[in-house]
Chain A
Amino acid sequence: MKIEDEKSFDELTDKEYKYGFVTDIESDSLPPGLNEDIVRAISKRKNEPEWLTEFRLKAYRHWLTLEEPKWAKVEFPPVDYQALSYYSAPKQKIDAPKSLDDVDPELLATYEKLGIPLGEQEVLAGVANVAVDAVFDSVSVATTFKKNLEELGIIFGSFSEAVKDHPELVKKYLGTVVPYKDNYYATLNSAVFSDGSFCYIPKGVKCPMELSTYFRINAANTGQFERTLLIADDDAKVSYLEGCTAPQRDENQLHAAVVELVAHENAQIKYSTVQNWYPGDKDGKGGIYNFVTKRGHCRGNNSKISWTQVETGSAITWKYPSCILKGDNSVGEFYSVAVTNNLQQADTGTKMIHIGKNTKSTIISKGISAGKAQNSYRGMVKVVETAENARNFSQCDSMLIGDQCGAHTFPYIDVSNPTAQVEHEATTTKIGEDQIFYCNQRGLDTEEAVTMIVNGFCKEVFRELPMEFAVEAQKLLGISLEGSVG
């Protein structure tokens, strides 16, 4: 494709990251550096019980023995873990906000700017039907719809509150899906996680609204380490959304989160993410390092966990939402769109571990690479001896826009049961000039045509997203790819 209009091309590439503003808010941070004292200090600041402090310390000591993983197809200068601050919280006027009125208006304004309504009146007025837990830097600032959910017995709120109010639940499930020894970043998270969301859906309850966490990194030179724990008890059902943005800064920021999902018998969890961290500028300066460990455990029979992700942001994405299909007849799904432009790098995929009988998994991954970006799918499908009649279907499609980007596929398929049926397919294509020409003919400019074609390419994934998110994701895709046609 030729650059048709040099000027508009430049305008487009210069288009700024919409969420790149910084909120001027006083924050309460720990000094940079990481040692046992810092770990204790974080724990103390949060008034955590002894067992949790121990959990953190065990993780920290184990972390010291580990080395950063090097196998992913991403390149970046080494992270100086001692230069980071491991705790940053917006300073509250009163210790803990009792209601939204107590939350710093500056903060609320930030969320409004991001398009996240925290005021419930807005929500009640029919703007959205989503319960939101907003996490600012490392701390949960507000949770909406708490009362309505409580009536149903649903516990939804910040991780710190859950530790205080429901320690037995947290203790029972924390680290059972992603153990503290799991990997470098998960171990680091286990040591220093600051807050996150906690959700428990009791037996037989179908959550009537979408639950959502919104993550925002604001402070400079901090790492964000949140931890999400979501439990769906027998016959429960929940749909969960996660969104994220960060201000535009020149230095790289680290985001190492852990998400643990537990699905008991007949439970269903749908977890959707629209990841739009600051990707860095077009020369690759700045941006978030998104090193996330997400895993779901289908513990009970007939349970189901479905991951849907739209990854458009971050300088580097290192993320493999996985499902352990332990219960018989359990189902795991992974739908992913990963878009990389300019100098972004993504190494993302999934793991499906089939253990129970008649377990099924589906993987649909769409990678789009533009500019000088590198986009890799890395996934594993494992069928162990006990997994009778396991079934997997994987499809990984890559699209290349421009001749300087890369698209790679690294699937690992390990099968140890003859009754298993495993299929994997991958294709790599570019947008055909004939397709563009056809659209041009119909009065669409090249930019619109590309967005349209890419949206069509990703349709299988987008239709898995909840409505509000699907619209946002399509828009995001357009923004991410702006300037990539040339």
Chain B
Amino acid sequence: MLNELRNKAETAFKANGFPTTKEELWRFTDVSRVASAEFSNDWKTSDLEFQPLDKITVVFENGKLSREKSNFDDLPKGVCIGSILDLVDPRIGTLADAQSAFVSSNTAYFSDGAFIEVTDGTKFETPIHLVFLADVDGAAFHLRNFISAGVDSEVTVIEEYIGQSGATYWTNVVTEAFVADQGFVDHYKVQRESATSFHFQTLEAHLGTGSVFSNHAVTFGSALGRNDIRGKLTGEEGEAICNGLYLLKDKQHFDTHMFMDHAVPKCNSHELYKGILDDKSRAVFCGRILVQEDAQETDAIQSNGNLLLSRGAKVNTLPQLEIYADDVKCTHGATIGELDEVGLYYLQTRGIDPVKGRAMLTFAFANEVLDEVKCKVAKAYIEGLVHEWLEQVEK
């Protein structure tokens, strides 16, 4: 089955090729650097270190699962974790957009990835920490993850990408998540790729009746990167939460494309994205909410805030609403600006010097996204990384 899927995808990839900036969805992100580069299939064990967040870690080194570094042997009943190559599910490849070059190349060439399944009624509280280490210069890593949460189940997944500083490589991930009725998937992504790498991920979630899919994507790394996040609400009273934070500096270019499809009535979707941009970095945010004809009583809120710390930083934001039903509550907002001088002045009158005041306000700006994080270990970890990033920028 997988072979057939791969062959089809390879044909599609070869026929369509990479997108160009002439295409509306790729107007602001030029991927010719990825398209024209030659990537190798070299492999070695990784020397990179990582910090396990909880008891369960699944480690992939340079695109392949490492049993030695991982720890997921002791699992309760109803929870299954493994390599996607061993545990093939017929739903693989049914969600992700087969026309996209990044998805089709991934389907054709993925070398490994995580398979996570929690069965009906299983509530698994321990977060599953997926670690993807990359330290082969010039390599391409195609990774495929699959998450399936059964009826009335619960699972927390943290994807973390760590790269060797100075290494140039291409990470291309596709994650497909199926959340059955009343299921709950709490998903996090921490992207700490090397500042010279390319990172692309397509995350597709399929939500059943009364289910909840929550996603927090925090981006620090990659020279050129993009998250394509797509949610499809197919059962009433489903809820999708997609929040994110991108912290960019130097000449980093990061793009977030979000698409939320309200196909049925009475669903909620909330999106809060914030960005802090330093130096000559550039952020692109495109959030599209589609409310289909029958999707009455939809409640969709989207907001994108951007803080520019330096001259030369650039933001392109496109919050879009496409609404075909009348009984809906949909709003979106976008802001771009620098730190509030009045706020700084207030802090100064309270004896806080401008440097510290600036740091406080910048963190407060980012913290709005972190406030929404439910998983405690993830929250503490991400907060630490944000502070670290801010300290570097202040210097």
Residues of A near any B CB (own CB < 8 A): 71, 383, 385, 398, 400-430
Contacts and interface: CB of A to CB of B under 8 A. Distances in A.
Contact of B320 (A401, A408, A430): A408
Interface stretch (B184-192, B202-210, B333-341, B383-391): B333-341
Contact of B336 (A403, A413, A429): A413
A420 B332 CA distance: 20
A251 to B, nearest CB: 29
Given A422-B335, A430-B328, A403 B296 contact: yes
A418 B327 contact: no
B319 A420 contact: no
Given A398-B323, A418-B313, A420-B337, A428 B331 contact: yes
Contacts of A421: 335-338
12 contacts: A71-B24, A400-B326, A400-B328, A407-B321, A409-B319, A410-B318, A413-B316, A413-B318, A414-B314, A418-B309, A420-B308, A424-B319
Contact of A414 (B311, B316, B319): B316
Interface in B315-368: 315-338
Contacts of A385: 311-312
Given A413-B315, A415-B314, A405 B326 contact: yes
B7 interface: no
A425 B336 CA distance: 12
A429 B329 contact: yes
A418 B334 contact: no
B81 to A, nearest CB: 42
A353 to B, nearest CB: 14
A341 to B, nearest CB: 14
Given A425-B331, A429-B328, A430-B328, 15 more contacts: A385-B311, A400-B323, A403-B326, A406-B323, A409-B320, A410-B318, A411-B318, A412-B316, A415-B308, A417-B311, A419-B338, A422-B334, A425-B332, A425-B333, A427-B330
Contact of A409 (B316, B324, B332): B332
Contacts of B337: 420-422
Contact of B317 (A403, A407, A413, A418): A413
A421 to B, nearest CB: 4
Contacts of A415: 306, 308, 314-316, 336
A423 B319 CA distance: 12
A385 B324 CA distance: 38
Contacts of B332: 409, 424-426
Given A400-B326, A404-B293, A426 B319 contact: yes
B323 A408 contact: yes
B296 to A, nearest CB: 7
Shortest 9 CB-CB contacts between residues of A and residues of B: A418-B308, A400-B326, A428-B330, A421-B337, A409-B321, A422-B336, A424-B334, A415-B336, A430-B326
Interface residues of B, number: 35
Given A421-B337, A422-B336, A428-B323, A403 B293 contact: yes
B16 interface: no
B21 interface: no
A427 B321 CA distance: 9
Contacts of A405: 324, 326
A418 B318 contact: no
B40 interface: no
B32 interface: no
A307 to B, nearest CB: 22
Given A413-B334, A420-B336, A406 B318 contact: no
Do most interface residues of chain A lie in helix, strand or loop, or is the interface mixed? strand
A406 B328 CA distance: 11
B280 to A, nearest CB: 10
Contacts of B126: none
Contacts of B41: none
B11 interface: no
A449 to B, nearest CB: 16
Contact of A423 (B24, B326, B328, B334): B334
Nearest to B310: A418
Contacts of A425: 331-333
B324 A406 contact: yes
A428 B334 CA distance: 15
Interface string B131-172: 000000000000000000000000000000000000000000
B343 to A, nearest CB: 14
A428 B322 CA distance: 10
A416 B324 CA distance: 34
Contacts of A411: 318-320, 334
Contacts of B311: 385, 417-418
A406 B294 CA distance: 12
B247 to A, nearest CB: 16
A419 B339 CA distance: 9
Given A418-B310, A418-B313, A426-B333, A403 B321 contact: no
B74 to A, nearest CB: 49
Nearest to B321: A409
Contacts of A402: 326
A405, A410, A411, A413 pick with most chain B CB within 10 angstroms: A413
Contacts of A408: 320-323
Contacts of A428: 321, 323, 328-331
Contact of B327 (A407, A409, A430): A430
Nearest to A419: B338
A137 to B, nearest CB: 37
A385, A415, A418 pick with most chain B CB within 10 angstroms: A418
B24, B296, B325 pick with most chain A CB within 10 angstroms: B325
A231 to B, nearest CB: 33
Nearest to B322: A408
Contacts of A71: 24
A431 to B, nearest CB: 9
Contact of B333 (A406, A416, A423): A423
B272 to A, nearest CB: 15
A418 B307 CA distance: 8
A428 B332 CA distance: 9
Contacts of B329: 428-429
A423 B327 CA distance: 26
Contacts of A418: 308-311, 313, 338
Contacts of A422: 334-337
Contacts of B328: 400, 428-430
Contacts of B324: 405-406
B314 A416 contact: yes
Nearest to B325: A403
A414 B311 CA distance: 14
A340 to B, nearest CB: 13
Contacts of A426: 319, 321, 331-333
A107 B323 CA distance: 44
Contacts of B320: 408-411
Contact of B331 (A400, A404, A414, A427): A427
A385, A398, A423, A428 pick with most chain B CB within 10 angstroms: A428
A446 B315 CA distance: 45
Interface string B116-133: 000000000000000000
Contacts of B321: 398, 407-409, 426, 428
A424 B310 contact: no
Nearest to B324: A406
A407 B326 CA distance: 9
Contacts of B310: 418
B78 to A, nearest CB: 41
Contacts of A420: 308, 336-337
